[in-house]
Structure 1
């Protein structure tokens, strides 16, 4: 796969028994490209297969976690997903070892969906979270609409999804989405300490424990996702007029012009 600096990259560093994975495209707020999705998929393969690694930490560079799908690619019909792990090289098949998100700045759109794919979330107190897709004529297609109401009270998740407005980290912490809320600049350090603590435990017992925790919500999530996935994929990826107009308006920094779908003479 060819790449340029504009494609971004995913960096990895082993710290003791922890693999630190960094989304590195700060000029575009770590928005995900097809190249980065492939890189993240490969990093998680390394986490899964290296017996010396016991846990992973996923973070972003430049003071941001992730702004989601690169919309320039999306408008061309190119999406940051892999055959193996799905959206962003993670969402459909997380690693078989614990993965902790370390969030500074914000986790928006696909960035929040990436965080929801992790087992624990550490965030700075000035971070924000949101799924703003609906404001741009999009639908959160990477399991955010399935996982968010399973992690938060229904009405909190519904307000986030229907308004598209970002919410502060302290609200997410009060409702249990965050494992730890820390001072700005300390998310990675805290997540790494937590990962090191987890890595002290024996690997087989930890794997069985992690699988059991995930299985507790997997059946509900799989039923909801099966009902949503077809409609979401068609809307998000088949050139729906609202989708095309919303993404174009965002990239052109103008207000979208939403067409009225009501037929002439309708109610």
Structure 2
């Protein structure tokens, strides 16, 4: 559906009792600009207040799910305010109905928050995952913590430590339990909608209560670790590597990393 009052950074379509939300910055591979994040934060409460919505599907327009943080923001030091409320651009932090991530193409860095936040994940066969935080001189903290709470530790650590040198294909993500299903690209949204319809056919109250129990199991033990993760992320920002990484990426050159023994690296 089209609503002229809604931001153009994402699209919304109703499919029965499911709401399909599509990140809509295909010219930037759906990079998570500050504006897109703010628009999503403002939108999810209205979804939470809609009793007709029984599932949310999140996907990306064009050939990418999301390229992660917008490098324009990173290279200029345009930083968000961090804390446990930071992830409220992800629907599962706000809505009490199941969230299904339909991952098409690349899923990079900060976009892994959507995967970690989602209750169910369906990926296309050509989808892949990478975490370039350390490549950009940033700390990879919240994303691997939340992913490892839902899947094995070692595959997630590969993502966190190898930066953009490592791309995890959808098949590996399936084996690691990071995604629920892998389907041909043409079947991605139909399958996500099929799962949403199965959920919508159940008792809405029972689904919400069952989901709340499962989310609590994953999130409550993680809360103190997430707080420390955000502190580590922000603590890295004054370090020169934090700006050198994205600038080197934009300038297509190898980064000149600082000596980790330097006082600024402590």
Report the 3-state secondary structure (helix = DSSP H, G, I; strand = E; otherwise coil) of the residue aligned with 2:138.
coil
Q: Deviations over 1:188-218 (max 9, x none)?
A: 1111111111111121111100000111112
Q: CA shift at 1:104, angstroms? A: 0.8
**Aligned 8 A contact 1:47 1:97 in 2:** no
| CA distance in 1 between partners of 2:97 and 2:38 (Å) | 19
Indicate the residue corresponding to 1:163 in structure 2.
162
Q: Which moved more, 1:25-34 or 1:220-229?
A: 220-229
Aligned to 2:206: 205
Match of 2:3 in 1: none
1:3 aligns with none
> Structure 1, residues 152-198: CA drift from partner, whole Å, max 9, x if none?
32221212211121110001101211111101232111111111111
What displacement does 1:79 show? 4.2
Equivalent-residue separation in structure 1 for 2:8 and 2:192 (angstroms): 23
Deviations 1:235-259 (A, max 9, x none): 1xx3320011001111122111112
Q: Which residue matches 1:119?
A: 119
Alignment of 1:185-200 (within 5 A): 185-200=186-201
* Separation in structure 1 between the aligned mates of residue 228 and residue 131 of structure 2, nearest angstrom: 20
SS at the partner of 1:181?
strand
Q: Which residue of 2 aligns with 1:174?
A: 175
SS at match of 2:213: helix
TM-score of the superposed pair, with normalisation by structure 2? 0.88
- Note the residue ranges of structure 2 that are not aligned, 5 or more in a row: 1-6
Change (3 A) 1:92 1:133: farther
Alignment match, 1:39: 39
Contact 2:59/2:65, CA 8 A, preserved across alignment? yes
Question: Given that residues 29 and 66 in structure 2 are in contact (C-alpha distance below 8 angstroms), is that contact kept between their aligned partners in structure 1?
Answer: yes
After superposing on structure 2, the runs of 4+ consecutive aligned residues of structure 1 that deviate more than 6 Å are 80-84
The Cα of 1:83 is off from its aligned counterpart by 9.2
Q: Greater shift after overlay, 70-79 or 192-201?
A: 70-79
Q: Distance in 2 between matches of 1:30 and 1:223?
A: 30
TM-score (norm 1): 0.88
Q: What is the CA–CA distance in structure 1 between the aligned matches of 2:99 and 2:13, rounded to whole Å?
A: 14
Look up the match of 1:241.
240
Aligned twin of 2:13 = 13
Looking at structure 1, the residues matched to 88 and 75 of structure 2 have their Cα atoms a distance apart, in angstroms, of 16
State the alpha-carbon separation in 1 of the partners of residues 131 and 39 from structure 2: 24
TM-superposition CA deviations, 1:114-161 (whole Å, max 9, x none): 2211111000112101212111211235x2031122223222121221
> How many equivalent pairs are there?
255
Corresponding residue for 2:218? 217
Aligned with 1:258: secondary structure?
Answer: coil
**In structure 1, C-alpha distance between the alignment counterparts of 2:230 and 2:20, rounded to whole Å:** 31
